[in-house]
Amino acid sequence: MDKPDVQQLEGMAKQIRRDIIRMLVESASGHPGGSLSAVEIVTALYFQEMRIDSANPRWPDRDRFILSKGHAAPVLFSALAERGYFPKEELLTFRKINSRLQGHPDMNKAPGVEMSTGSLGQGMSAAVGMALAGKLDKKDYRIFVLLGDGEVEEGQVWEAAMAAAQYKLDNITAFLDDNGLQIDGPCAEVMSAEPLDEKFKAFGWHVEKINGHSFPEIAEAIARAKKIKGKPTMIIAKTVKGKGVSYMENQVGWHGNAPSREQGEQALAELV
Ligand SMILES: Cc1ncc(C[n+]2csc(CCOP(=O)(O)OP(=O)(O)O)c2C)c(N)n1
Ligand SMILES: [Mg+2]
């Protein structure tokens, strides 16, 4: 596949936002806010960065992406469908009985899903294990993992962070979707983990800080991460929860509520 330019990536991001809205309207449940905030990060990984083959999802040398904040499943499922892992029509079965696309990603059901996630904190540990396996097997594949800023309030994240530095896992690049909100309020009020950059540095990570909606900044940060030897990289990406839908932006109430059909129409009218 040819590498897309920024304009093409922006077009794909808009398409993925539209998919997310349609999935949530159809299922009448799910998590829009944290799906929409992560669109550019996930789009850049699946359409620009990762060495993957949708025709061969279990190719041993593939790069791996783990959605540690598993409740943002709609953004992952949409990227996988747009990238050809399964038919796009299947997106509308999201959260339905017997669908392969459950509310949180299931690696035994949906093609392309690398790890079942949803219990916050666990995906990061799995990602670190995969990166360690890659080193032991002398493979050159890379591991990408996406965490939420509420998720890093989980202690398990810091155990995994410690292990990644201990084993010098420079083949893992983590993104922190720094949208400022978690399930029922601002992270700063629920349980502040700030200063996140200094904490990850103290845990032995190389840290980048970027605008998580800028494709050039995402690409540049990944390029720098690839050059760092002997250390894992954390890319702290400032984002807007609910990005792209006016009435959802920065609204904690849109963490885990689906738009009605009418609200969905309004969102789609904005995403043209
Ligand atoms: C271990 C665990 N505790 C609690 C929850 C419930 N929960 C689901 S999403 C969420 C908030 C996550 O906030 P954040 O990581 O910032 O996600 P985002 O803002 O990107 O949606 C919580 C507490 C969970 N899924 N797993
Ligand atoms: Mg958040």
pLDDT tens digits for range 89-119: 999 999 999 999 999 999 999 999 999 999 9
Q: Tally helices (H) and strands (E) across the chain.
A: 10, 5
pLDDT band at 50 (very low <50, low <70, confident <90, very high): very high
In this predicted structure, what is the pLDDT of residue 134?
98
Per-residue pLDDT tens over the stretch 183-205: 999 999 999 999 999 999 999 99
Helix segments in the chain, DSSP class H: 6-27, 33-36, 39-44, 73-82, 122-136, 155-166, 187-191, 196-202, 215-227, 261-270
And the tokens for 78? 């949409």
Tell me if 242 CB under 6 Å of ligand 1: no
**Residue tagged 């932006």 (tokens):** 249
Average pLDDT score over residue span 135-146: 98
Domain ranges of the chain: 6-270
Pocket test for ligand 1, best of 35, 102, 125, 151 (most atoms within 8 A of CB): 151
Helices 122-136/155-166 angle, 10° precision = 10
For the chain, give the mean pLDDT.
Answer: 98
Expressed in angstroms and rounded, the spacing between residue 71 Cα and the centre of ligand 1 is 7
Ligand 1 atom with the smallest distance to the CA of 122 is 1
* The two three-digit tokens of residue 184, written as one number: 């029922």
Q: Is the CB of 219 under 6 A from ligand 1?
A: no
Q: Is 182 in the pocket of ligand 1 (CB under 6 A)?
A: yes
User: Taking 70 as the threshold, does the pLDDT of residue 1 lie above it?
Assistant: no
For the sheet with 64-67, list strands across it: 64-67, 143-148, 172-178, 233-238, 206-211
Asked whether 239 lines ligand 1 (CB < 6 A), one says: no
Position 3 scores a pLDDT of: 86
- For domain 6-270, the CATH superfamily is Thiamin diphosphate (ThDP)-binding fold, Pyr/PP domains (3.40.50.970)
